[in-house]
C-alpha cells in the first residue's frame, strides 16, 4: 500500500510538471504619435504546447491594421515542448484623439487568456516636422508616358541639412513610395556622391503613409555623408528600376495576334518602370581659422579621450603598451591618432589601430583604439605624455583640445644574462677547436652504390633523345595553333582581350604607384593604386571604365562567386584610398607600403576566380 501511494504521488508530480501553461503579452513601440505617423503592435504568446492559436484582434477603433508577419520559436527539452510565437501588426491612425486598444485574447481548451488594454494618443500633424523630413505635400494624378500614374510609384531623396562643415555628417535619405503591387523586387542605384566619404546606415525603415487620401508603403534607405573639402557639391539623382503587374495589356491586345505572342508571358514579366529623383545642391563650409590649433588634423564631431598603460614597472629595453581610445560621434574611420609627447628616452612603435562603429539612431559613432609600443632605453623614471588630441566641436562651433597625463613608469635596470657556454667539441689530439669545426664541415662521404653501366649495342629507336627530337615538332605545331586562336580571339572578342590584358595593365600601374611612393606623394600614390585595382576588376568582368562604381563591382563579383573575404578586402582598400584623398597627411611611408601589398594580394586572389 505504501508503494502504491508513492507511485501515485510521483505520477501526480509528473502530470503537474507537464501541465499546459500559456501566457500572452501585447506591447507597442510608442504610445504617442501624430496623425501622419504609425506604430507597431507586437503580440507574443508563449507556452508548453506545440500548436499555439491565433490571437483575436478586437475592433481597433481609430486605426487601420495591417499584418506584418509572424515568427515562431519551438524548443523541446526533456520531452517538454516550449513554443513562442510573435505576431506583428502595423497600425495607421485614421483620426486624432485618445484610443484604447485591446484587450487581446486567445482561447485554448476552454480557457481565455488576455493582455492589455493599451492606451494610445494620436496628435495632429506637425507641418514643420513634415517639411523637415522632406515628405512631399502635393501630388498630381497625371498619366505618364509609361501608362502608370505618377502618384502610384515615386521616389525622392533629401538631406537633413543643406549647409555643413567639412567632415560633418549629412544624412541622405532615399524614400520609395509604393501604392501598387510590384512584379518583382526593384533595383536601386544610389546617387553619385563625389566629394563625400559615405557610410551605409542600416537598417532599412518601412512604414505606411497616407498622403492625399492614398496609402503608401514607404521604404527608406539612409546614408551618412562626410564632405572631404569645402565648396559647392551636387548629390546626383537616385535611380530605381521596378516592374509592375500589367494585366490590362494582356487582355486588351488584338485577339488575332495570338500566334505572334506568348499567351503565358504575363506570368514571367511585368511592365518596366524607371524612376529618378532630383539632384541636391549642398554647400560645404571650411573649418574656421580662428582658434585652430597648429596640431589640428581635421577631426570633426564630439569626442572624448582615455589612455591606459599595461604596466607601470618595466625593465629597460622591455616593451610597454600604451592604449589610447578616442570615443564619440563623428566619422570614426578618419579619427587621427593623438599626439604623445615626452618620449625622448624611449623608442616608440605604432602597433596599429582598430575601430568599433555604431550607427544607432542613424548617427555614426563609436570608438577608435590606437596602440603604441614604448621601449625605454635607460633605467629611471620615464614620463609619457602629455597626450593631446584636438577636434572641432560641431555643436559648440569651436576647437577643443583634450589633454591627458603625463603618465610615469619606473624603469629598472636589466638583469645580466649568463654568458653562453661554448659549443661542446670532442677533443682531438693535435687539432685546435677551429680546425675541428673546419674538419666537420669538410668531410666528404664515400659513395658505396653501384656505378651506372650502359649495355653495348643499343638501338637508336630505344633512345629517348631520338624520340624527343621527333615529337618536338608536333608539340610546336600544337603551340602555334593555340597561339593563332588566341591572337584571332584577341582581335575579335573585346571582353576576352580586356581580361587577358588586365593583369599586365594592373602590374604596370602598380609599378608606377611604387615609383610615386618612393617620391612620397601620398595622394597620387593612393589614386594610382585605386585605379590599378578597380580598372583591373572592370577589365576582368568586361565593364566599361566610365561606368565603374564600387557597388556595381561588388554586385558583379558576387555573381562570379568571388568569396566575401576577398570582396571585403577590396572594399577596405577602396575605403583607405578614399580616406587618403581627405586626410593624406596621416598616412606614412609604412602605410603606403601596406596598401601596396594589399593591392598586390587582391589582384593575385581575384585572378584565381576571374
Task: Dump pLDDT digits (tens) for 18-75.
Answer: 445 778 888 888 888 887 677 888 888 887 765 666 777 787 777 877 666 677 776 6
CA distances to 68, 101, 216, 363, 592 from 56, rounded to whole Å, are 16, 12, 26, 39, 64
* Environment class of 401 (CB within 10 Å of its CB; exposed 0-12, middle 13-18, buried 19+): exposed
pLDDT at 316 over 80: yes
Residue 285 pLDDT more than 90? yes
Q: How many helices (H) and strands (E) does the chain have?
A: 10, 29
Work out the average pLDDT over 421-440.
Answer: 50
Hey, which of 111-115, 223-227, 344-348 has the most confident mean pLDDT? 223-227
How many CB atoms within 10 Å of residue 557? 21
Instruction: Spell 430-454 as b/e; 16+ CB within 10 A means b.
Output: eeeeeeeeeeeeeeeeeeeeeeeee
Q: Which residues contact 156 (CB under 8 A, 6 or more apart)?
A: 134, 136, 174, 175, 177, 277, 278
- If you average pLDDT over residues 489-497, what whole number do you get? 71
Measure the CA–CA gap between 251 and 245, rounded to whole angstroms: 13
Fold of 302-412: Immunoglobulin-like (2.60.40)
| Ranges for all domains in the chain classified under CATH 2.60.40.740 | 302-412
Architecture field, domain 13-123? Sandwich (2.60)
Model confidence at 381, pLDDT cuts 50, 70, 90, reads: confident
Query: What's the whole-number average pLDDT of the chain?
Result: 77
- Positions of CATH 1.20.120 in the chain: 492-607
User: Residues 409-421: what's their mean pLDDT?
Assistant: 70
Does the structure show a pLDDT above 80 at 510? yes
328-342, 377-391, 527-541, 570-584 — which is least confidently predicted? Answer: 570-584
Query: In angstroms, rounded to a whole number, what is the distance separating the alpha carbons of residues 40 and 120?
Result: 12
Q: Give residue 106's pLDDT.
A: 81
Which one is predicted more confidently, 143 or 553? 553
User: How much is the pTM?
Assistant: 0.49
Least confident of 353-362, 465-474, 592-601: 465-474
CA–CA separation, 126 and 210 (whole Å) = 14
Nearest alpha-carbon partner for 275 in 173, 193, 198, 177: 177
**Most confident listed range (189-193, 438-442, 455-459, 544-548):** 189-193
Tell me the helix, strand and coil percentages in the chain, rounded to 5: 30, 35, 35
Burial of 342 (0-12, 13-18, 19+ CB in 10 A): middle
Residue with cell 602597433: 351
Residue 131 has pLDDT above 60, yes or no: no
Distances (CA, A) of 221 to 154, 358, 571: 14, 17, 20
CA 56 to chain centre: 42
Alpha carbon distance 355, 575 (integer Å) = 14
> In the predicted model, is pLDDT for residue 301 greater than 90?
yes
Flag the least confident range among 139-143, 154-158, 258-262, 425-429.
139-143
What mean pLDDT comes out for the span 492-515? 83
Chain centre to alpha carbon of residue 247: 40
**Residue 51 has which C-alpha cell?**
500548436
pLDDT at 281 over 90: yes
Distance CA 212, CA 217 (A): 14
Query: Residue 519 CB: number of other CB atoms within 10 A?
Result: 9
For 321, the enclosing helix (H) or strand (E) is strand 320-330
CB atoms within 10 A of CB 292: 13
> What mean pLDDT comes out for the span 417-435?
49
Most confident of 10-19, 209-218, 437-446, 490-499: 209-218
Fold adopted by 128-285: Immunoglobulin-like (2.60.40)
Sign of the CA dihedral running 356, 361, 364, 365: negative
> Hey, how many other C-beta atoms are within 10 angstroms of the C-beta on 541?
19
Query: How many percent of the chain have pLDDT more than 70?
Result: 75
Positive or negative torsion for Cα 288, 289, 291, 296 = positive
CATH 1.20.950 describes domain 492-607: no
Question: Is residue 287 very low, low, confident or very high in pLDDT (cuts 50, 70, 90)?
Answer: very high
Residue 57: per-residue pLDDT? 76
Amino acid at each position: 500500500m505504501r508503494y502504491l501511494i508513492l507511485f501515485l504521488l510521483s505520477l501526480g508530480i509528473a502530470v503537474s510538471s507537464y501541465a499546459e501553461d500559456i501566457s500572452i503579452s501585447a506591447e507597442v513601440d510608442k504610445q504617442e504619435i501624430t496623425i501622419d505617423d504609425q506604430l507597431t503592435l507586437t503580440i507574443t504568446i508563449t507556452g508548453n504546447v506545440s500548436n499555439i492559436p491565433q490571437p483575436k484582434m478586437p475592433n481597433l477603433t481609430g486605426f487601420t491594421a495591417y499584418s506584418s508577419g509572424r515568427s515562431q520559436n519551438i524548443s523541446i527539452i526533456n520531452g517538454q515542448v516550449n513554443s513562442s510565437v510573435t505576431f506583428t501588426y502595423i497600425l495607421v491612425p485614421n483620426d486624432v484623439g485618445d484610443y484604447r486598444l485591446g484587450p487581446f485574447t486567445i482561447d485554448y481548451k476552454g480557457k481565455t487568456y488576455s493582455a492589455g488594454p493599451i492606451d494610445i494618443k494620436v496628435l495632429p500633424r506637425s507641418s514643420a516636422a513634415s517639411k523637415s523630413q522632406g515628405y512631399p505635400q502635393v501630388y498630381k494624378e497625371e498619366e505618364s508616358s509609361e501608362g502608370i500614374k505618377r502618384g502610384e510609384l515615386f521616389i525622392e531623396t533629401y538631406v537633413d541639412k543643406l549647409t555643413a562643415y567639412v567632415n560633418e555628417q549629412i544624412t541622405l535619405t532615399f524614400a520609395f513610395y509604393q501604392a501598387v503591387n510590384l512584379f518583382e523586387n526593384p533595383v536601386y542605384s544610389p546617387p553619385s556622391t563625389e566629394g563625400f566619404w559615405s557610410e551605409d546606415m542600416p537598417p532599412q525603415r518601412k512604414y505606411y503613409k497616407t498622403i492625399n487620401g492614398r496609402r503608401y508603403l514607404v521604404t527608406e534607405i539612409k546614408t551618412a555623408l562626410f564632405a572631404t573639402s569645402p565648396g559647392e557639391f551636387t548629390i546626383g539623382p537616385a535611380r530605381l528600376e521596378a516592374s509592375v503587374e500589367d494585366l490590362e495589356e494582356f487582355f486588351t491586345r488584338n485577339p488575332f495576334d495570338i500566334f505572334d505572342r506568348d499567351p503565358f508571358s504575363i506570368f514571367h514579366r511585368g511592365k518596366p518602370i524607371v524612376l529618378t529623383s532630383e539632384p541636391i545642391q549642398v554647400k560645404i563650409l571650411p573649418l574656421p581659422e580662428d582658434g585652430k590649433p597648429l596640431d589640428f588634423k581635421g577631426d570633426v564631431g564630439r569626442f572624448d579621450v582615455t589612455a591606459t598603460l599595461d604596466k607601470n614597472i618595466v625593465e629597460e629595453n622591455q616593451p610597454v603598451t600604451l592604449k589610447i581610445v578616442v570615443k564619440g560621434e563623428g566619422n570614426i574611420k578618419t579619427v587621427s591618432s593623438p599626439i604623445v609627447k615626452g618620449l625622448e628616452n624611449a623608442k616608440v612603435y605604432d602597433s596599429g589601430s582598430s575601430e568599433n562603429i555604431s550607427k544607432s539612431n542613424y548617427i555614426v559613432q563609436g570608438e577608435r583604439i590606437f596602440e603604441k609600443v614604448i621601449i625605454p632605453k635607460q633605467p629611471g623614471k620615464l614620463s609619457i605624455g602629455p597626450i593631446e588630441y584636438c577636434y572641432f566641436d560641431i555643436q559648440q562651433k569651436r576647437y577643443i583640445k583634450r589633454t591627458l597625463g603625463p603618465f610615469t613608469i619606473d624603469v629598472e635596470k636589466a638583469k645580466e644574462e649568463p654568458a653562453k657556454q661554448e659549443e661542446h667539441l670532442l677533443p682531438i689530439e693535435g687539432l685546435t677547436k677551429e680546425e675541428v669545426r673546419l674538419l666537420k664541415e669538410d668531410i666528404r662521404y664515400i659513395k658505396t652504390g653501384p656505378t651506372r653501366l650502359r649495355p653495348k649495342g643499343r638501338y637508336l629507336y630505344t633512345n629517348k633523345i631520338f624520340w624527343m627530337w621527333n615529337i618536338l615538332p608536333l608539340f610546336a605545331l600544337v603551340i602555334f595553333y593555340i597561339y593563332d586562336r588566341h591572337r584571332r580571339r584577341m582581335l575579335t572578342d573585346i571582353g576576352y582581350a580586356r581580361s587577358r590584358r588586365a593583369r599586365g595593365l594592373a602590374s604596370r600601374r602598380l609599378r608606377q604607384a611604387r615609383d610615386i611612393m618612393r617620391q612620397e606623394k601620398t595622394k597620387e600614390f593612393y589614386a594610382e593604386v585605386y585605379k590599378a585595382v578597380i580598372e583591373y576588376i572592370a577589365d576582368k568582368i568586361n565593364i566599361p571604365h566610365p561606368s565603374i562604381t564600387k557597388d556595381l563591382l561588388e554586385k558583379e563579383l558576387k555573381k562570379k562567386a568571388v568569396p566575401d573575404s576577398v570582396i571585403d578586402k577590396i572594399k577596405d582598400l577602396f575605403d583607405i584610398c578614399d580616406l587618403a584623398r581627405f586626410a593624406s597627411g596621416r598616412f606614412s611611408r609604412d602605410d603606403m607600403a601596406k596598401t601596396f601589398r594589399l593591392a598586390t594580394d587582391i589582384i593575385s586572389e581575384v585572378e584565381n576566380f576571374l
